[in-house]
Chains A and B, each alone.
Chain A
Amino acid sequence: MAAPYSIDDLQRWNRQIVELVEKFGLDPYPQEFEICDHEETLSYMVYSGMPSHYPHWSYGKSFEKLKTLYDYGLSGLPYEMVINSNPSIAYLMRDNTLALQVLTIAHVYGHNDFFKNNFTFKTTRANYTIETFKAHANRVRHYVEDPSIGLERVETILDAAHALSLQCRRNLAIRKRSEAEQREDKLEESKPSRDAFQSIHRRKEWVPPDLAKVPPYPEEDILLFIRDHNPQLAEWQKDLLTIVHEQAQYFIPQIETKIMNEGWASFWHKRILDSAGLPQGMQLEFIVRHNQVLSPHPGSLNPYHVGMKVWEDIERRWKDPNSKEEAEFGPKKKSARDKLFEVREVERDSSFLRRYLTEELVRELNLFEYQQRGNDKVVSRVADEENWQRIKDTLIQSVGTGTIPVIAVDDADYNSNRALFLKHAHDGRDLQLEYAEKTLQYLRQLWGREVVLETLINGKKNHLHFGENRLTIKPVH
């Protein structure tokens, strides 16, 4: 199909958009666009947009799934796909109309700017993204082709590693303390605090901490912990764990800022194209597409919609607060633009919503809380005066990495038997037991010995033991 536009058209629109991007003060990486057909687009989606990625059957699975949905018209293709890299790479689908391409280009700059400036992405080493993924791919292929290793064994490790890949530290902006440093901390902590009335108090007895305990503090990076503490693992197995861990860490910031990021890109594509002087035909199509992307999905949550509403509200409140808001927050100290840029830099979804999702917005967005009953969602709370705060809390709990249970390694020598003991930081949400069982099986496989997970089931403390080859659940009294 001949595209009704040329690369020159795209270049021309791009120049205009870039001018506006600069005028608005956005600060993106250099941008590269690649024109793809739908097959390539599907393929890129499967591999998170990466030009190079290691092989695993799960990508074949998601390709089949996406392709089926696409072929049956159940889902379209995304208009945009942007990689957090420097230079940033984005894909434009060949068969889209010019208006859609222009919209996408503007949207891409929003993401690009967000990647470059939001604090959570500081650890992702965007300069080396493409090279890193390529290096990972090469190493995995090398192991697959190595006759002493082969596909089956590589797959076994990858399957297990994928199951645990998101069990890792979430706030990457905080430097991780080494184990030696953690021991020092522990020692420091154990010392009795300074007491102003030392002379009259009896001196507290100093209990020396157990410095031999591994890990000194609960450890969330499960894959790394296994890599470093299971002496049975071969070098190639350790390397696979490292690769999977590194890739997960790369994607954590995107999980953590989904709503902000999509909202930000939508906010700016609207701004940019409103000022770009689109010809009337394109303007109409732009409005239609924009509304499609930004419309709420009744029953679930459209991050584009929610995100953009919050951004718009921040801008409004800092530009033109109503009297009530002025009374509540005091006189504004910042311009709206500066405020937006500050928020872009220092928040992630959970803090973003906590600070800027107001009662009015919860109402306006028609948010509600639901409980899962089998395949149904049953509305449990609607946004009235009593419940809006609870809904907001639930939302904050379930965005970003909030959907991943916090599970940390507590002891690598449980029962003096080198069993791995983990604790689930239970926050009112139980684990799905079938999934927990299978995941513990993977954990057992990687650790090589028994694993025990402490969690609450229906409010009662239980230990999930995965021994030789099956799970037993024991209540703890």
Chain B
Amino acid sequence: MDTIFRPYIPSSGQRSDRSAGDRLRHREKVREAIRGNIADIIAEESIIGKDNNRIVKVPIRGVKEYRFVYGENAPGVGQGGDGEVKPGQVVSQGKDGGKGHQAGDQPGTDYYETEVSLDELVEVMFEDLELPDLDRKNLREMEVERMFRQQGYRKKGVRVRLDKKRTARSRIKRKKASLRAGVTLHRDNRFPFHKDDLRYHHVVTEMRRQSNAVVLCIMDTSGSMDTMKKYLARSSFFLLYRFLCTRYQNVEIVFIAHHTEAQEVTEDEFFHKGESGGTLISSGYNKALDIVHERYHPSLWNVYAFHCSDGDNFDSDNEAALKAAKELTQVCNLFGYGEIKPLGAGYYGSTMIQYFSQITEPNFQTVQIQRKEDIWPSFKIFLSKDRVRDDAA
């Protein structure tokens, strides 16, 4: 009997990648699934203020392969280890344990998490919010303030800034001059570089006062913030943060949760803590003011504040809230109030938007967010204010 052995051929690497097309297609399916669950994902994941390479684990429910399988009342047979197995004992086992799983797998094995980079998630979110392409481009291509600028050339510098072309040229100049002056070359016609030939880019560091920004996220954490409201609020804060990152070197973020009193919290607590009871908006604003005065003095920091609420405030607090809001506009580049009233939630209770219409400061802006489609337009309105101020400044 003849047996054939085919040796390994490295060039057959091409063939080994024949799953590339299928992988790509699967990737697309995963993306669709993510888009389907984006509200949940954004509402559940801590993503604001995290760096782009962060990997987010997303449970995927959209790419299961369905077939007829038995449910939970189908018993199975397993093997015990060395120890004795007793009835009632729970046999812990990884989902995918055991070899030889083929057809008719338990459905559980089809659940899996996929990993997505935050950048990819943002991309999907931008798609989901249907941010128009042009605007999206604007947002992304916004020039980041440069810290270093080239300015002329110097004879001294560090190696990496060596300008080879200019260096070579000055050597040639020196050579011509030397020849004219009647200097004889070495016998092998060499004319070596001299350290005076070296030319370096001169780089000046631009100190920009505006390179620090802080985002104050203030949120009403009354118990009524459901997944959709969280998604809307989080998307707004997130867009703001992302946008400011493109304009400033250093963006810090502060989360303030308030009901009748305010406290600074982590992102996680910010979105997951539900409190009930009444709402005193002024408490959140005063807390923000305290923090600004303590840590982010407006002479050193660009302060952006954004407050999300469903607009239910104690009437008695309205005056105080108005006063605090006015004070905030004094220290902030921009102060926005977003009122989240998802469609179908009904216009119960009061709305602060009307009340805040008394504030005439140009850097104050209110927006109303009813559904995710509202986020981008209101966000644009919000930022157009910022541009006005920038131009004026």
Residues of A with Cβ closer than 8 Å to B?
3, 7, 10-11, 14, 18, 22, 30-37, 39-40, 43, 46-47, 55-61, 63-65, 69, 75, 87, 94, 151, 155, 162-167, 251, 254-255, 258, 262, 296-306, 365-373, 375-382, 391, 394-395, 398, 401, 403-405, 407, 424, 428-436, 438-439, 442
Q: In the complex, are the beta carbons of B92 and A299 less than 8 A apart? A: yes
Of A30, A394, A395, the residue contacting B2 (CB under 8 A) is A30
Contact of B66 among A69, A368, A439 (CB under 8 A): A439
Q: Across chains A and B, which 7 residue pairs bring their CB atoms closest together, nearest first?
A: A403-B104, A300-B98, A298-B81, A60-B26, A60-B22, A438-B66, A366-B80
Q: A55-B21, A163-B66, A407-B68 are in contact. Are A375 and B98 (CB under 8 A)?
A: no
| Contacts of B1-56 to chain A: CB distance below 8 A | 1-8, 12-13, 15-19, 21-29
Q: Are B76 and A404 in contact (CB under 8 A)?
A: no
Candidate in A162, A297, A381, A434 with the most chain B CB atoms within 10 angstroms: A297
B73 part of interface (Cβ distance < 8 Å): yes
B22 touches A59 (CB 8 A): yes
**What DSSP secondary structure best describes chain B's contact surface?**
loop
In chain B, residues 47-103, which have Cβ atoms closer than 8 Å to a Cβ of chain A?
A: 63-81, 84-93, 95-100, 102-103
Tell me which residues across on chain B come within 8 A of A370, comparing CB atoms.
75-78, 91
Given the complex, which residues of A lie within 8 Å of B108, measured CB to CB? Answer: 375
Min CB–CB distance A150 → chain B (angstroms): 13
Known contacts A301-B79, A370-B78, A435-B107, A63 near B68 by CB under 8 Å: no
Q: Does B246 contact A (CB under 8 A)?
A: no
A378 — which chain B residues lie within 8 A by C-beta?
88-91
Residues of B within 8 A of A18 (CB): 1, 3
Residues of A within 8 A of B355 (CB): none
Q: Which residues of A contact B106 (CB under 8 A)?
A: 372
Chain B CB within 10 A, most for which of A37, A61, A254: A61
Task: A379-B90, A430-B71 given; name 11 further pairs at CB < 8 Å.
Answer: A18-B1, A30-B1, A75-B96, A368-B80, A376-B91, A378-B90, A382-B84, A395-B77, A401-B104, A432-B71, A433-B71
Question: From residue B24, how far is it (CB to closest CB) to chain A in Å?
Answer: 7
B347 beta carbon closer than 8 Å to chain A: no
Instruction: Using CB atoms, name the residue of chain A closest to B72.
Output: A372
Q: Which of B8, B73, B100 contacts A35 (CB 8 A)?
A: B8
B residues neighboring A (CB under 8 Å): 1-8, 12-13, 15-19, 21-29, 63-81, 84-93, 95-100, 102-108, 112
> A442 — which chain B residues lie within 8 A by C-beta?
66
Given contacts A61-B26, A378-B89, A380-B87, contact A430 B66 (CB under 8 A): no
CA distance A344 to B100 in the complex (A): 19
Question: Can you name 18 A-B residue pairings with CB atoms under 8 Å?
Answer: A3-B8, A36-B16, A39-B13, A59-B22, A65-B112, A296-B79, A299-B81, A299-B92, A370-B76, A371-B75, A376-B90, A376-B92, A377-B78, A377-B90, A403-B69, A405-B69, A428-B73, A435-B107
* Complex Cα gap A391–B18 (Å): 43
For residue B79, give the distance in angstroms from its CB to the closest CB of chain A.
4
> Is the CB–CB distance between A432 and B107 below 8 Å?
yes
Q: Tell which of B63, B72, B81 touches A296, judged by Cβ atoms closer than 8 Å.
A: B81
Do A301 and B103 form a contact, CB below 8 Å, given A43-B16, A366-B85, A429-B70? Answer: no
Which listed residue, A30, A47, A373, A436, touches B3 by the CB 8 Å rule?
A30
Contact A404 B103 (CB under 8 A): yes
B19 and A430 form a contact (CB under 8 A): no
Q: Judging by beta carbons under 8 Å apart, are B1 and A306 in contact?
A: no
Task: Tell whether, in the assembled complex, residue B91 and residue A377 are in contact, meaning their CB atoms are under 8 Å apart.
Answer: yes
A255 and B102 contact, Cβ closer than 8 Å, known pairs A33-B4, A382-B85: yes
Q: Which residues of A contact B70 (CB under 8 A)?
A: 403, 405, 429-432
Q: Given the known A-B contacts A298-B79, A378-B91, A380-B75, are A57 and B4 also in contact in the complex, defined by CB atoms under 8 Å?
A: no
How far, in whole Å, are A55 and B69 apart by their CA atoms in the complex?
25
Inter-chain CA distance A162–B103, complex, in Å, is 11
Let me know if A94 and B8 touch, CB within 8 A. Answer: yes
For the complex, give the distance between the alpha carbons of A162 and B64 in Å: 12
Chain A residues positioned under 8 Å from B29 (CB to CB): 57, 61
Which B residues are in CB contact (< 8 Å) with A162?
Answer: 65, 67
Q: Cβ of B104: which chain A residues have Cβ within 8 Å of it?
A: 166, 401, 403-404
B72 and A365 within 8 A (CB): no
Q: Which residue of B is nearest A87, CB measured?
A: B4
Q: Contact at A35–B6, with CB atoms within 8 Å?
A: yes
* B95 & A375 in contact (Cβ 8 Å cutoff): yes
CB–CB B77/A394 < 8 A: yes
Contacts of B26 in A (CB 8 A): 57-58, 60-61, 64
Q: Is the CB of B19 within 8 A of A43?
A: yes
Task: Using known A-B contacts A46-B19, A64-B23, determine if residue A404 contacts B91 with beta carbons closer than 8 Å.
Answer: no
Question: In whole Å, how far is B83's beta carbon from the nearest beta carbon of chain A?
Answer: 8
Return chain A residues, CB-CB under 8 Å to B112.
65
Whole-angstrom CA separation of A367 from B25 in the bound complex: 42
Question: Which residue of B13, B84, B90, B100 has the most chain A CB atoms within 10 A of its CB atom?
Answer: B100
Assembly CA distance A230 to B96 (angstroms): 38
What chain A residues lie within 8 Å of B77 (beta carbons)? 301, 367-370, 391, 394-395, 398
| B115 and chain A: residue at smallest CB distance | A68
Which of B64, B69, B98 gathers most chain A CB within 10 Å? B69
In the docked arrangement, what's the CA distance between A33 and B67, Å? 35
Contact pick for A429, options B4, B73, B88, B92, CB 8 Å: B73
